[in-house]
Amino acid sequence: MQRSRWLPSKILQNKTFFQLMKVYCMAFQLREFSSINSFSFGKYPRIQSHMLLLFLFAFITVVALFTSVTHISGRDVGAASVAIAGLGRGRKPHLYRSNITNDSTFLAFMISEVLEGSNDPHHRLRGRAGSWPSRLPTPRYAPFWSQFRALLRTWVAMKWYDPKIMQSLVTMIKGPIDRHHHRSNRKKRLYGTCAVVGNNGILLNSTFGKAIDAHKVVVRLNNARIKGFEKHLGGKTTIAFMNSNILHKCARRVRCYCHPYGDDISIVMYVSQVPHLMDMAMCDPVHAAPLLTDPRFDALTSCIAKWYSVHEFVEQTGKVVNEWPWVQGFHYSSGMQAVMLALGICEEVDLYGFEKGIGTNKTMSRHHYHTAQRKELHIHDYEAEYVFYDDLVIASHSNSGSNHSIPFLCDAGIRIHIVRVFGG
């Protein structure tokens, strides 16, 4: 574009300039239709019409320059306007303006820059950013910015469907936990027995406490309170499995304290919202136990959850797939991914509170045993997940422990050993 050689760069970046340029172009077109020539220009109407247009263009330039200067005159020049270099070839840079003073808005902006520029239309990873904003809206995130960028790039690069990730869970999840507790796992053995304890209100009608604590590993969900409920669901915890919304709340506390079950309890977390990677960057260094997540594992769980939800919807209603109500906003529950985790690191998996209750009493009507919440979250399809758990039980009790009947999981290359479901 030849104009950029002699027009000031501030003018080219100004929206008012481009709007006024439209007026100029419209005037030039009107001249061709004799709208301007209808005026009396004297002896040389064509020359004088061009002079009028040049005068109009000069006026536009002055106005645009004045607007650009006054726009930044009242602000610090260093933070006034930082251009983000294109993250992909041929991509136009966006502008980050210093009037973004909210941290969540800032993170959303930067994440969109990375997600838009990290992959081309063929989903190949693109280059790194050439430059990033030199200062943040608030200094709170400044020490963790480099770690956040690294986590975000890794998360984007690994976000694809790979069912074989189930074979790596022993190395990725069990390995760091064993090292943290100074246990050897050279042979990469599975845990013997694991209990995954859900938060279903149906547990209040049970006395599984001692049975749950007898397991080698006990997995609990989303930091649900257990004090006062030991008779129903035990008091032992080995792994605290949570979604990143829980960590986001913990990040507001001193030293990101997020260990209601004990400071030495390992945390396994999946990312439910991308901005929460900043919370992970902030909290990871101060936690003794590891924070672990893998987007490939998330993708596999999501595929299974959606398949069961769509399949059950079509089977139960007789409607077509296009009428599935969760086209937007659907997400698997934390409990389902905790079950998937146990399948990859445990020989025997016992599920507690993963069954729909039957009855009309007060405890049956609770969604969570530790709250008064009665309604289920609309983003989850619990009914479909219950069918998935039943299929796991059937597959584990077959002669070969084959999972060929379970979509997507059949491609994982793992054997389903023993799965049992205990209700209330």
- Pair type for strands 346-352 and 191-197: parallel
pLDDT of residue 111: 67
Alpha-carbon span 176 to 189, nearest angstrom: 13
Burial annotation 281-295 (CB, 10 A radius, 16+ → b, else e): bbbbeebebbbbbbb
pLDDT of residue 274: 84
Residue 165, CA distances (Å) to 151, 273, 355 in order: 19, 21, 27
pLDDT of residue 56: 65
| Ranges of residues in the chain whose predicted pLDDT is under 70 | 1-139, 185-187, 285-290, 292, 327, 356-377, 399-403, 424
pLDDT of residue 384: 93
pTM given for the model: 0.68
pLDDT of residue 193: 97
What separation, in Å, do the N-terminal and C-terminal C-alpha atoms of the chain show? 72
pLDDT of residue 146: 82
Alpha-carbon span 294 to 130, nearest angstrom: 27
Of 294, 311, 309, nearest to 384 (Cα)?
309
Structure tokens at 240: 């605290």
- Structural domains in the chain, CATH included, are 2-74 (no CATH), 79-137 (no CATH), 163-422 (3.90.1480)
pLDDT of residue 178: 87
Residue 27, CA distances (Å) to 54, 343, 379 in order: 11, 70, 54
Contact 373, 199 (CB under 8 A): no
pLDDT of residue 286: 64
pLDDT of residue 392: 94
Kindly give, in sequence order, each residue whose CB lies less than 8 Å from that of residue 38, ignoring residues fewer than 6 positions away.
Answer: none
pLDDT of residue 346: 96
pLDDT of residue 37: 41
pLDDT of residue 39: 40
